[in-house]
């Protein structure tokens, strides 16, 4: 079968795939060379025309790629079985930590038979919930999902957002909780950052992306959004995100202007509501990471002269830096988050790549640790500042999503927990340490089922960026892999937040190569220790992790059998020109800068694909709904890899025209998505034999070259 579409000259002919199925050759994409000279270096881009997402040529190309991907997945007979095995792991009840206001609990919940979560309220921890925003009524195709933005202090007004698919943009609504009806003017679809309601519910302060950057506005609930007053932001460009928070007393508005997504450079502002005309600066260029308020006091988590972070208390009535007081000192482990609830200050520390939660008095006196069942992740701490209850979410590799309630004595009780088919006692996970290229010791979790000795098909994922700590957490995707006898590996790369700001800085800007070397060393360790082989090793990463996948396939293709590269950044010479990517310049640098261009050019995956080289099997995924990382990266890299890679292994683009970076998939969509990704990885890494009751060992093909 051969065909062509418009000027893209798409042609398809049959070849044999490395997975044993007959697979058509990929659509051929027309080359239209675009040449430019950047700081003396001539760069040629044959597929720049694919950057135009809405052109007829690009839409025809996308349609051809979708058809090609569908044919590939249809050719994996085990895909249907994989989807069926995933269903009891994913079609389960899901609930988020409640927001507490005046004794009322507001939360999102999706029942096992539903596609999207709805918003509920209940009067107390044990009362019967009442639905406020029912997801199934929001859209016919179940693509719209609601989120809780804020709740008034008296619990009478709910501010909620509606998101279509996986877009970052939302539409903001206001509801009278008592009668369940919307009130006031809706804020239009836009990218909102932080929003905070006045305690009496008269106005909402919010941050929104506009042309040139983000701005803080004041929106009276009784007025149209067109008359909203800009409060802060005009002095800041697109590399900054502004935000705001109203204190529970309603006396102060606390604002930030944060440079970059990792928030290590921020200006702080305060405004006395009803007295000041505009916010006034408290401090500039502070290494701020997070904040929380308790009454009219603000708690700042900062890396200022503290690489592992400390907590400062700021009385907003006397907010000059000379008046600040250190209440929680820097320790051996990094503080990654803070919160206030029930008159307490809470701090999350990462110790041995696991979250530990500590409670303090408002003045910083230690109350004690809040114990968790096993090493894992704490994702959210919630409770009313002057209330009497605190909740937090928790999960781990074999411990499903849970909401724990904290007592006055620091003990915890399970308020809610997902019910899954996984048997925790059957899962083993241990932490190992291995040397990276420069000798730095890197930790990695290795998860497997009891009795599954190596070498085994292995799925490894990592992130390594933006000061984000990637910790043990519940994942149906990983749980399925381990249940089939495979190994799941999670290394903690530099660039993340596992060991404080020094660890983060060791993997950003000109030191980004450290992240990649840490990942390659993890693969080498797994192979050296006979946990897996290069022909059984599949890797997956999303967003900044997608960049990691792009570098892995171009720098060390011999180490990996299959690569799943999701929502990726891949053309690092042009990334800063699209969507909100200027926010990431403080993390990566920009090719507009001559010095930064040099190191970006050395690793940018799109510029390092070599014709005729044998690459791993690659599955790219992205789609129109990604309004954060432009899907042009996945489109261009797919075209280049399909044209350049030696034949024999599939290069597939799974492109969705609705879902995007922020999730938003219905349960059915998520099942189809995960089944595609897992069937791809399983078919390439030798996992499919396990589905037939055989040991999941090396596939019957020539082994990949030994790692360097």
Residue 197: CATH number of its domain: 2.130.10.120
Domain assignment present for 215: yes
Q: Are residues 183 and 322 in the same domain?
A: yes
Q: Are residues 311 and 430 in the same domain?
A: no
pLDDT in tens, 301-349: 999 999 999 999 999 999 999 999 999 999 999 999 999 999 999 999 9
Partners of residue 509 on adjacent β-strands: none
Distance CA 375, CA 473 (A): 9
Domain assignment present for 127: yes
DSSP calls for 95-145: E-PPEEETTEEEEEEE-TT-SS-EEEEEESTTSPPEEEE-GGGT-TTS-EE
pTM of the model: 0.93
DSSP percent split of the chain into helix, strand, coil, nearest 5: 25, 35, 40
Residue in the structure block whose two tokens are 């040629």: 44
Q: Using an 8 Å Cβ cutoff, are 352 and 375 in contact?
A: yes
Burial class (CB within 10 angstroms; exposed 0-12, middle 13-18, buried 19+) of 227: exposed
Distance CA 49, CA 58 (A): 8
Q: Are residues 296 and 151 in the same domain?
A: yes
Helical spans, DSSP H, in 180-287 = none
DSSP calls for 153-187: TTS-EEEEEEEETT-S-EEEEEEETTTTEE-SPPE
Instruction: Please tell me the predicted confidence (pLDDT) of residue 690.
Output: 60
Bridge-based pairing state of the strands 537-542 and 562-566: parallel
Helical spans, DSSP H, in 604-666 = 632-644
Domain assignment present for 374: no
Instruction: Please tell me the predicted confidence (pLDDT) of residue 67.
Output: 97
Domain boundary among 335, 355, 370: 335
Residue 612: CATH number of its domain: 3.40.50.1820
- SS3 assignment, position 73: helix
Give strand ranges (E) for 450-532: 458-461, 487-491
Domain assignment present for 418: no
Domain assignment present for 40: no
Name residues of the chain where pLDDT drops below 50: 1-19, 694-708
Q: Are residues 137 and 261 in the same domain?
A: yes
Q: Are residues 106 and 222 in the same domain?
A: yes
Distance CA 205, CA 686 (A): 53
472, two tokens:
């043990």
Q: Using an 8 Å Cβ cutoff, are 240 and 232 in contact?
A: no
Q: Are residues 306 and 451 in the same domain?
A: no
Domain assignment present for 340: no
Domain boundary among 335, 350, 376: 335
Domain assignment present for 9: no
Q: Using an 8 Å Cβ cutoff, are 171 and 149 in contact?
A: no
Residues whose CB is less than 8 angstroms from the CB of residue 453 and which lie 6 or more positions away in sequence, other chains included: none
Distance CA 697, CA 691 (A): 12
Residues whose CB is less than 8 angstroms from the CB of residue 641 and which lie 6 or more positions away in sequence, other chains included: 553, 609, 615, 618, 651
Domain assignment present for 10: no
Q: In what order do the strands lie in the sheet with 344-350?
A: 334-341, 344-350, 355-360, 366-370
Q: Are residues 462 and 330 in the same domain?
A: no
Q: Are residues 323 and 464 in the same domain?
A: no
637, two tokens:
């890299």
Q: Whose CA is closest to 542, among 570, 503, 521? A: 570
Give strand ranges (E) for 5-55: 14-16, 22-24, 34-38, 41-45
Instruction: Please tell me the predicted confidence (pLDDT) of residue 22.
Output: 62
Residue 484 is classified by DSSP as T
Q: Are residues 158 and 255 in the same domain?
A: yes
Q: Are residues 595 and 495 in the same domain?
A: yes
Domain boundary among 305, 335, 365: 335
**Number of separate domains in the chain:** 2
Provide the sign of the torsion angle of the four alpha carbons 55, 61, 64, 66, taken in this order: negative
Q: Are residues 612 and 495 in the same domain?
A: yes
Q: Using an 8 Å Cβ cutoff, are 109 and 129 in contact?
A: yes
CA distances from 251 to 279, 373, 629, 656, 660 (A): 13, 40, 38, 46, 39
The domain in which residue 581 lies consists of 423-691
Q: Are residues 144 and 254 in the same domain?
A: yes
Instruction: Please tell me the predicted confidence (pLDDT) of residue 661.
Output: 83
């Amino acid at each position: 079968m051969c065909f062509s579409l418009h000027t893209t000259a798409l042609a398809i002919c049959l070849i044999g795939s490395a997975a044993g199925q007959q697979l058509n050759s990929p659509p051929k994409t027309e080359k239209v060379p675009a040449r430019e000279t950047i700081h003396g270096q001539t760069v040629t881009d044959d597929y720049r025309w694919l950057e135009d997402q809405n052109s007829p040529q690009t839409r025809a190309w996308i349609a051809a790629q979708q058809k090609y991907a569908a044919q590939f997945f249809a050719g994996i007979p085990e895909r249907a079985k994989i989807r069926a095995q995933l269903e009891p792991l994913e079609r389960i009840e899901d609930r988020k930590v409640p927001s507490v206001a005046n004794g009322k609990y507001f939360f999102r919940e999706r029942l096992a038979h539903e596609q999207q979560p709805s918003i509920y309220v209940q009067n107390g921890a044990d009362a019967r919930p009442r639905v406020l925003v029912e997801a199934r009524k929001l859209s016919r195709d179940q693509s719209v999902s609601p989120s809780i933005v804020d709740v008034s202090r008296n619990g009478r007004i709910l501010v909620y957002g509606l998101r279509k698919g996986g877009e970052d943009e939302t539409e903001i609504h206001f509801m009278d909780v008592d009668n369940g009806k919307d009130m006031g003017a809706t804020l239009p679809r836009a990218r909102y950052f932080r929003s905070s309601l006045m305690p009496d519910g008269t106005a909402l302060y919010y941050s929104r992306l506009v042309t040139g950057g983000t701005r803080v506005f004041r929106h009276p609930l009784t007025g149209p959004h067109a008359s909203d007053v800009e409060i802060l932001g005009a002095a800041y460009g697109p590399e900054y995100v502004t935000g705001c928070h109203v204190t529970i007393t309603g006396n102060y508005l606390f604002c930030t202007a944060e440079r970059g997504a990792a928030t290590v450079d921020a200006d702080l502002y305060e405004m006395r509501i009803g007295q000041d005309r505009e916010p006034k600066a408290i401090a500039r260029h502070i290494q701020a990471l997070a904040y929380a308020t308790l009454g009219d006091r603000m708690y700042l988590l900062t890396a200022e002269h503290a690489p592992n972070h400390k907590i400062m208390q700021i009385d907003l009535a006397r907010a000059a830096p000379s008046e600040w007081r250190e209440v929680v000192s820097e320790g051996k482990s990094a503080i990654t988050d803070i919160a206030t609830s029930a008159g307490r200050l809470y701090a999350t520390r990462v110790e041995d790549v696991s979250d530990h939660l500590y409670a303090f008095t408002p003045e910083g006196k230690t109350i004690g640790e809040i114990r968790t069942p096993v090493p894992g992740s704490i994702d959210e701490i919630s409770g009313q500042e002057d209330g009497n209850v605190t909740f937090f979410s928790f999960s781990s590799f074999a411990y499903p999503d849970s909401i724990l309630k904290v007592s006055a004595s620091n003990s915890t009780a399970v308020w809610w927990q997902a019910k899954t088919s996984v048997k925790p006692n059957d899962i083993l996970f241990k932490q190992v340490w291995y040397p990276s290229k420069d000798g730095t010791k890197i930790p990695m979790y290795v998860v497997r089922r009891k009795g599954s000795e190596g070498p085994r098909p292995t799925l490894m994922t990592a992130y390594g960026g933006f000061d984000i700590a990637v910790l043990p957490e519940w994942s149906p995707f990983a749980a399925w892999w381990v249940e089939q006898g495979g190994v799941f590996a999670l290394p903690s790369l530099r660039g993340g937040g596992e060991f404080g700001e020094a660890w983060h800085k060791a993997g950003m800007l000109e030191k980004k190569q450290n992240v990649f070397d840490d990942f390659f060393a993890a693969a080498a360790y797994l192979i050296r220790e006979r946990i897996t082989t290069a022909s059984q090793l599949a890797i997956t990463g999303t967003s900044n992790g997608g960049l990691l996948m792009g570098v892995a396939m171009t720098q060390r293709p011999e180490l990996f059998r299959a690569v799943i590269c999701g929502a990726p950044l891949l053309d690092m010479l042009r990334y800063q020109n699209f969507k909100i990517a200027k926010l990431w310049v403080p993390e990566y640098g920009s090719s507009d800068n001559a010095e930064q261009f040099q190191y970006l050019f050395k690793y940018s995956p799109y510029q390092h694909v070599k014709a005729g080289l044998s690459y791993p099997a690659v599955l790219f995924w992205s789609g129109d709904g990604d309004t954060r990382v432009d899907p042009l990266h996945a489109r261009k890299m797919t075209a280049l890899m399909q044209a350049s890679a030696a034949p024999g292994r599939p290069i597939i683009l799974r492109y969705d025209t609705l879902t995007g970076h922020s999730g938003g998939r219905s349960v059915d969509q998520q099942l189809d998505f995960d089944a595609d990704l897992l069937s791809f990885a399983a078919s390439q890494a030798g996992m499919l034999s396990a589905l037939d009751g055989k040991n999941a060992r090396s596939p019957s093909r020539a082994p990949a070259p030994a790692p360097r």
